[in-house]
């Protein structure tokens, strides 16, 4: 009886704390929207270098990781498909399988995982450190709208980077994986390409665009939120960890929702 | 009211049962320089946060050029801050920007100046404050006095009507910040520009300042001009100047 009571208290406390967190995040979102009132006073040159640097860090610098992981995943999927599909007599569906697994799901998910772990953690840590060293306060006192100045260029950079990385991931996974898999199984190139083209549809492209835009908005938004939260330097690692884990959870949930919307 | 830059009217604030400010009233005319001093937790920091419009949780009114601060909307609040320069003891330089970028940040964000014009204005400030040798460096590579001078340059680059300097001198070598103190004196002598200095050492600013205001536990316990500061027999002032443990102030 006492055990059940304790569990109920723990669950209740957790639920309340989650609800408070959602309310607080909602207030943060409203403050971001409110900051768009000063958008017409925002000068492009003041955020240009931030957007460029963020795009370079989030997109360009992540390329080696994305290419390597895409190669590995592409090869794995092709090897598994070509060795197992014939057992079921459906070897003609290899292109479909690649599109379904890599283009629709793994491409966006793995790319966003790389972006969250690299850029998301860096964004949260950078903002938290700036807040602790009163750099954010200095910007506010200069009259800079810190929500717009910090969050907006990162959202723009993130959308561009994630979309580009997903496309690169898919291409490298398909063709790079194909090349690696040739050492294990032989698939004629023309058949492979034809299979892919037949399986790829406009809906897949649309789903990819929508996922990259949503992830591109969510990753910096959530990571900046946790970056603004620490009140002391000792809380910085805690909130950076929260930023990464919670962004990942949200991304997995959004992925399921979008996939269900488009393909169910 | 035309000459009046800032007017504080019956400002009060209580936080968690502790009185931070109680019925604070004073005004500052254009060109007037003031020094605020007192022991820790006297309310000076709270007053500065209200003047900077970082917080509106107070009773009373703050008028800037005749307009009430609490009536400013979001964008007016941002624009108000361009007329105020602020230099605080942590300096708050942006760590991933060079000295030049830090100083030019307000101009890039607010002004209509071209890139070349901004560069000219920044170079003038860099020359005046002897920052030429470090203008391409980031804050991590700067000495303490270079950080102060850079933060000061950034705070005055927009030529604000009011400059607030809060505990910015603590821990600085007076020899290394000569160019800064000269610039501050020049600014203090300017008729149209006002400076508020928040400090624990008011005696260092006798020449630059017109009025001295002492705070203790959220109240103004002394207010007077230079002569009053030097000659008054106000008990709070005497205890503070003599650094005496006994007197009307209870120091823990």
List pLDDT tens digits, range B11-21.
Answer: 999 988 888 99
Contact A192, A94 (CB under 8 A): yes
Contact B13, B20 (CB under 8 A): yes
Residue A153 carries which DSSP code? H
Cβ-nearest to A142 among B96, B109, B115: B109
The two structure tokens encoding residue B93: 């330089």
The two structure tokens encoding residue B107: 């101009």
Rounded to whole angstroms, how far apart are CA atoms A136 and A4?
A: 46
Residue of B nearest to A45 (CA): B108
Confidence of residue A199 (pLDDT cuts 50, 70, 90): confident
DSSP letters spanning B8-42: EEEEEEEETTEEEEEEEEEEEETT-EEEEE-STTS
List pLDDT tens digits, range B107-158.
Answer: 998 888 999 999 999 999 999 999 999 999 999 999 999 999 999 999 999 9
Q: Is B94's CB within 8 Å of A143's CB? A: no
pLDDT of residue B25: 95
Residue B113, C-beta contacts closer than 8 angstroms, at least 6 positions apart:
B107, B121
List pLDDT tens digits, range B36-71.
Answer: 999 998 999 999 999 999 989 999 999 999 999 999
Rounded to whole angstroms, how far apart are CA atoms B103 and A215?
A: 35
Residue of A nearest to B88 (CA): A138
Residue linked to tokens 């060795």: A83
Give the DSSP H/E element, type plus range, for residue B138: none
Q: Examine the pLDDT at A256 and tell me if it is beyond 60.
A: yes
Establish if B92 touches chain A: CB-CB under 8 angstroms. Answer: yes
Q: Is B92's CB within 8 Å of A138's CB? A: yes
Q: Is B90's CB within 8 Å of A133's CB? A: yes
Dihedral pair phi/psi, residue A46, rounded to 5°: -75, -20
Rg (CA), chain B: 19
Rounded to whole angstroms, how far apart are CA atoms B88 and A53?
A: 29
**Secondary structure of residue B219 in the 3-state scheme:** strand
Dihedral pair phi/psi, residue B114, rounded to 5°: -75, 170
In this predicted structure, which of A177-191, A228-242, B32-46, B204-218 has the lowest mean pLDDT? A177-191
DSSP letters spanning A236-253: HHHHHHHHHHHHHHHHHH
A-chain CB neighbours of B94 within 8 Å are 130, 135, 138-139
Q: HEC states along A70-102?
A: HHHHHHHHHHHHHHHHHHHCCHHHHHHHHHHHH
Q: Examine the pLDDT at A29 and tell me if it is beyond 50.
A: yes
Q: Examine the pLDDT at A92 and tell me if it is beyond 80.
A: no
Residue of B nearest to A141 (CA): B81
Q: How many CB atoms lie within 10 A of CB A259?
A: 16
Establish if A89 touches chain B: CB-CB under 8 angstroms. Answer: no
Rounded to whole angstroms, how far apart are CA atoms B217 and A202?
A: 69
CATH code of the region B4-242: 3.40.50.300
Please state whether beta strands B194-199 and B33-37 pair in parallel, antiparallel, or not at all (unpaired).
parallel
Pick from B33, B15, B23: which is nearest to B226 by CA?
A: B33
Q: Is A130's CB within 8 Å of B154's CB? A: no
Residues paired with B248 in a beta bridge: none
Confidence of residue B1 (pLDDT cuts 50, 70, 90): very low
Rounded to whole angstroms, how far apart are CA atoms B53 and A13?
A: 36
Q: Say if the ipTM goes beyond 0.90.
A: no
Residues paired with B26 in a beta bridge: B8
Confidence of residue A1 (pLDDT cuts 50, 70, 90): low
pLDDT of residue B2: 61
**Secondary structure of residue B194 in the 3-state scheme:** strand
Q: Is B109's CB within 8 Å of A143's CB? A: yes
CB contacts under 8 A, B 24-63 vs A, are 52, 54
Average pLDDT, chain A: 88
Q: HEC states along A206-231?
A: HHHHHHHHHHHHHHHHHHHHHHCCCC
Rounded to whole angstroms, how far apart are CA atoms A170 and A200?
A: 12
List pLDDT tens digits, range B189-244.
Answer: 887 899 999 999 999 888 889 999 999 999 999 999 999 999 999 999 999 999 98
> Would you list the domain boundaries of chain B?
4-242
Establish if A144 touches chain B: CB-CB under 8 angstroms. Answer: yes
């Amino acid at each position: 009886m006492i055990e059940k009571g304790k569990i109920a208290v723990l669950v209740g406390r957790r639920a309340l704390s989650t609800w408070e967190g959602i309310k607080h995040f909602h207030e943060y979102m409203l403050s971001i929207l409110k900051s768009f009132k000063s958008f017409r006073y925002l000068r492009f040159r003041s955020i240009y270098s931030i957007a460029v640097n963020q795009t370079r860090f989030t997109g360009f610098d992540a390329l080696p990781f994305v290419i390597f992981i895409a190669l590995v995943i592409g090869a794995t999927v092709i090897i598994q498909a070509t060795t197992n599909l014939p057992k079921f007599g459906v070897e003609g569906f290899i292109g479909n399988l690649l599109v379904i697994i890599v283009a629709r799901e793994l491409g966006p998910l793995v790319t966003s995982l790389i972006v969250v772990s690299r850029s998301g953690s860096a964004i949260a840590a950078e903002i938290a450190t700036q807040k602790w060293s009163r750099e954010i306060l200095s910007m506010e006192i200069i009259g800079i709208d810190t929500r717009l100045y910090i969050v907006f260029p990162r959202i723009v950079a993130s959308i561009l980077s994630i979309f580009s990385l997903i496309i690169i991931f898919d291409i490298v996974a398909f063709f790079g994986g194909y090349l690696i898999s040739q050492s294990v199984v032989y698939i004629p190139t023309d058949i492979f390409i034809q299979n892919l083209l037949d399986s790829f549809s406009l809906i897949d492209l649309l789903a990819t665009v929508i996922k990259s835009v949503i992830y591109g908005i969510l990753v910096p938004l959530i990571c900046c939120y946790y970056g603004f939260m620490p009140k002391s330097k000792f809380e910085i690692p805690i909130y950076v960890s929260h930023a990464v884990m919670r962004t990942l959870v949200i991304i997995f949930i959004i992925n399921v929702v979008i996939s269900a919307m488009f393909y169910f | 009211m035309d000459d009046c830059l800032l007017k504080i009217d019956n400002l009060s604030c209580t936080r968690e049962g502790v009185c931070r400010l109680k019925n604070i009233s004073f005004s500052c005319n254009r060109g007037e320089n003031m020094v605020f001093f007192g022991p820790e937790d006297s309310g000076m920091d709270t007053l500065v946060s209200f003047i900077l419009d970082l917080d509106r949780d107070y009773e009373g009114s703050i008028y800037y050029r005749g307009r009430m601060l609490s009536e400013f909307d979001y964008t007016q609040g941002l624009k108000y801050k361009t007329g105020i320069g602020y230099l605080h003891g942590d300096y708050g330089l942006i760590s991933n920007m060079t000295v030049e970028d830090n100083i030019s940040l307000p101009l890039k964000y607010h002004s209509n100046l071209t890139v070349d014009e901004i560069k000219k204005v920044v170079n003038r400030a860099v020359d005046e404050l002897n920052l030429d040798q470090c203008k391409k460096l980031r804050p991590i590579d700067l000495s303490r006095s270079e950080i102060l001078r850079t933060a000061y340059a950034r705070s005055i680059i927009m030529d604000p009507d009011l400059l607030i300097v809060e505990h910015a001198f603590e821990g600085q070598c007076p020899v290394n910040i000569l160019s800064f103190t000269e610039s501050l004196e020049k600014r203090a002598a300017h008729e149209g520009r006002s400076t508020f200095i928040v400090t624990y050492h008011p005696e260092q600013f006798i020449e630059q300042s017109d009025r001295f205001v002492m705070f203790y536990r959220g109240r103004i316990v002394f207010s007077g001009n230079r002569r009053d500061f030097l000659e008054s027999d106000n008990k709070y002032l005497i205890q503070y100047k003599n650094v005496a443990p006994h007197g009307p102030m209870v120091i823990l």
